[in-house]
Amino acid sequence: MRRRVSAALAGVALIAFAASGLGLRTSGAGEPEQANVSTTQAELSALREAYRRVDEAVYPADNPYSPAKAALGQRLFFDTLLSGERTMSCASCHVPTQSWSDGRPRGIGETGAAMKVRTPTLLDVAQIPILGWDGKFRDLENVAFTPITSASAMNLPEATLLARLRADPGYVRAFAAAFPERAAAGGSPEAISRRTVELALATFQRSIVSGEAPFDRWVAGDARAIGPSAKAGFALFNGKAQCAGCHSGWTFTDGSFHDVGVGAEADVGRAAFFPDSVQLRYAFKTPTLRDVTERGPYMHDGSLTSLRDVIDLYDRGGIDRPSRSTAIKPLGLTDAEKRDLIAFLKTLSADGTASLAVPPRLN
């Protein structure tokens, strides 16, 4: 279950903030109408509640969690054995200290060539139903071997990877511990297969969770956790700026695909799988906004350097074309409102590193 922001609640956000005395300022259009505090306080509480973290079971029935499987997945994730020249691991692009992305406009593979798209963060990836900027992966278990075997990424054939793992006694023991039923059926080396590599890596990656941010503390009831400008930005986010239409719930994404006026010509998004769809031609995945101030450059192609550039894009409505989402249109934001939005977005960055619900890395 993912909680969404109610459109009705978003519409009353400005009045709710003013009535509840949270320091929301206007931008030249006069003070918001006064409203009945007993009513708007309840509406405000519900709006904030829509962003409260939810404890959910994120491990699917066909890949349940086990400590041995998570530890194996973590070991694989950080091991350069998974690349052709043994120079690159999954963590080379999904860097823990860079909010599980890499800070580049485009990913860089083992050969040094730039990839087509920016490296997406793995923060809260367990909450995303379909993965990839264009949605090419139906679930997390089906991601791993595309970058591993791609000549533009890790450049390692599947058969070579499996042979390397089976030749390593430590991995043979680790796979047997993580998949005892497979080892019992065919012997310890037989526990090493494409599928068990996928299952182990997915189990580890599901444990990558965004850390607590000032915004989370504010949602939990700490009125001083974020400042007046950020509170004003939250109201704009759910109101005039219309951000919450796509960046919803505690993960700040609807998990869907939209043409927001970025990308052109051969830079095709979701329409790669639905070629007859005009609407999906330049539609790319809505990214999470967790740690967003730490994860520039922005957009699927890394084409925008700063958050101000992103807000300016949305303010002018991006490229006007038939495929552009009907939700994208000029907003008329003032400079003060843009600063408030950025102040709010800064409150989504965790105080520390993202948490991992797994043991320390194996050596």
Q: DSSP letter string over 213-279?
A: -HHHHHHTT-TTSS-HHHHHHHHHHHTTT-GGGTS-TTTT--S-EE--S---TT---GGGT-TT-ST
What is the structure's pLDDT at 231?
93
Cβ atoms of residues 227 and 343 within 8 Å: yes
Tokens 């949602």, located at residue: 219
Q: How many Cα atoms are found within 13 Å in the side-chain-facing hemisphere of 361?
A: 8
- Backbone φ and ψ for 262, nearest 5 degrees, come out as -125, 150
d(CA 228, CA 29): 18
Residue 97 structure tokens = 């200290």
pLDDT given for residue 56 in this prediction: 76
Mean pLDDT along residues 317-339: 96
pLDDT of res. 315: 97
Neighbouring CB atoms inside 10 A of 185's CB total 10
* Average per-residue pLDDT for the chain: 86
pLDDT of 183: 84
Q: Specify whether the CB–CB gap between 229 and 214 falls below 8 A.
A: no
Percent of the chain whose predicted confidence (pLDDT) is above 70: 84
Write the CB contacts of 101 (distance below 8 Å, at least 6 apart in sequence). Answer: 93, 94, 95, 118, 119, 120, 121, 122, 295
Q: For the whole model, what pTM was predicted?
A: 0.86
pLDDT at residue 111 tops 70: yes
pLDDT band at 7 (very low <50, low <70, confident <90, very high): very low
Mean pLDDT to the nearest integer, 320-340: 96
Q: Which residue has the higher pLDDT, 31 or 168?
A: 168
pLDDT above 50 for 29: no
Q: What is the pLDDT of residue 38?
A: 37
Mark residue 248 as left, alpha or beta (left: phi above 0; alpha: psi -120 to 50; beta: remaining). beta
Q: Which of 30-44, 183-197, 245-259, 290-304 shows the lowest per-residue confidence on average (mean pLDDT)?
A: 30-44
Query: What is the arithmetic mean of pLDDT over 34-46?
Result: 51
Percent of the chain surpassing pLDDT 90: 78
**pLDDT beyond 60 at 3:** no
Q: Which residue has the higher pLDDT, 56 or 128?
A: 128
pLDDT surpasses 90 at 355: no
Query: Rounded distance, CA 295 to CA 101, Å?
Result: 7
Among positive and negative, which fits the CA dihedral 330, 233, 235, 348?
A: positive
State both tokens at 245.
């239409």
Six token digits for residue 165: 């793992």
pLDDT of residue 11: 38
The predicted model gives 108-128 an average pLDDT of: 94
Average pLDDT over residues 338-360: 79
| Residues in contact with 16: Cβ distance below 8 Å, sequence separation at least 6, in sequence order | 35, 40, 41, 43, 44, 47, 235
Number of other residues whose CB lies within 10 A of the CB of residue 113: 13
Would you place residue 185 in the very low, low, confident or very high pLDDT band (cuts 50, 70, 90)? confident
CB 10 within 8 A of CB 235: no
Give the least confident one: 8-22, 251-265, 292-306, 338-352. Answer: 8-22
Give pLDDT tens digits for 142-175. 999 999 999 999 999 999 999 999 999 999 999 9
